Structure 1
Amino acid sequence: ITHYTRILRYIKPEFVHVFVDGQVVEEGGPELADRLEEEGYDRYATGAGAATIAAAAAAQA
């Protein structure tokens, strides 16, 4: 389990799972990890979590 995709440069995952509020919302392989690195997690943000993610994204811009 990791939140840091940089480690995936050294370890290739067989399975990638995205959890939101304790639920699996998407599953895939290494290509999903690559997409998450490129696009981030904004597409999974809902409710109160959406505001937190939006604020973090704005701070990085």
Structure 2
Amino acid sequence: MLLEDDAELLQDVLLPGLADYGFVVAGVQSAAKLYEALRISDFDVVVLDVGLPDADGFSVA
């Protein structure tokens, strides 16, 4: 799971880049969306942006 609030960076760079290395990756743009996704699925790793629109990435961690 990748949490990044910059939509262009998330969709155009990070998600495809990690997929190119063989990772199965999902992305969200807010802490609220992350919490929602975690209720539905388990993830091995969560990569967080520290500056989020609705939370501090350190607090989310």
Using the size of structure 2 for normalisation, the TM-score is 0.31
Higher RCO by CA contacts (8 Å cutoff, separation 6 or greater): 2
Give the structure with the larger strand fraction. 1
Give the structure with the larger helix fraction. 1
